[in-house]
Amino acid sequence: FECPAKYAPYHSHYLALHLTQEECCRPTCATYTCHHGYVERHSEFRDTMVTLETCCKKEPTCGTSFDCPSGYNQVHSHFRAEVLSLEECCEATCLTLSCPHGYLERPSKFSSTTVRVETCCRKEPACGTDFTCPDGYMAIHSHFMAKVLNVQECCEPTCDTFTCPTGTSRKPGNFDCDAGLSNFEAGWSEPKKDWCCAMKGKGCAGLTFSPGVDTCCQKEPTCVDFECPQGQVVDPCRASSTHRTVENCCRPTCLTYTCPQGYHHNSMGDYDCNAGLSNFRFGWSESKKAWCCAHEGKGCPECGSMP
């Protein structure tokens, strides 16, 4: 008896009274349809006992038969791929992207998003764009990628933070440092650039600046160059005073004194009160000292004395 296709001889030595397919033949795995999620085994197993385990094997899937490398997530875990590969089974995450210069990685919660610079990276904080310097300071390192944005990292002081010492005052400058700021390099005068950079921290491109007496302060005008009215001279005791008034800076000479009847001004002497003034204490005669002190306020024996 000849068994049909997909069947194998059964009990080859069995003496059957009825030669039929049921008596003489047995099914092979070729007659078995594997369930969903299974595929046929190789041909060497096709003549074995017909069961799911002997005729079929688990179909390979990305989720069960392929491990994605670090930085990738598994996809299509039930997809029956003919070739299990990185491209078929895995998708990249932000962990596979190196953020370009000037960017930082976003927090891990963004790691599974579409891999683009916009979704995986964020602008690295910079002093010039993410930190505002307080009054009296100007921004520096506008492209400096600072981990901590603070005054020390991002700002430097201007003259507004500097206290001028006694006898000096803040340098004047009637400049509007906001007017024309967008075109300061070409549109501002050099004095305006210097003053606005020093005082307001504006217009400083290419300038180096450090607050100090020389850059921020000027000597205050004192009595020494005060113009006293006729008949009065600068009081040497007040020469360094910055309170520039006649009452404070000046002292009268004999020219302001009205002699009583029978007296006249002592114009005798004919002294040059500037000659040898620096050494008047030792180089002048007593009569010259007395005359120059009374008439011109020079060579007086002590501060505030007036013959």
**DSSP calls for 15-60:** --SS--HHHHEEE-GGGPPPPTTEEEPPGGGTTS--SHHHHEEEPP
Residue pLDDT, tens place only, 246-271: 888 888 888 777 888 877 777 666 78
pLDDT tens digits, 88-120: 888 888 888 888 877 878 776 555 667 888 888
Whole-angstrom distance, CA of residue 91 vs CA of residue 114: 9
Which one, of 12, 8, 11, lies nearest residue 47 by Cα? 8
What whole-number distance in Å separates Cα of residue 33 and Cα of residue 108?
A: 46
pLDDT at 307: 45
Other beta carbons less than 10 A from residue 197's beta carbon:
24
pTM strictly above 0.75 = no
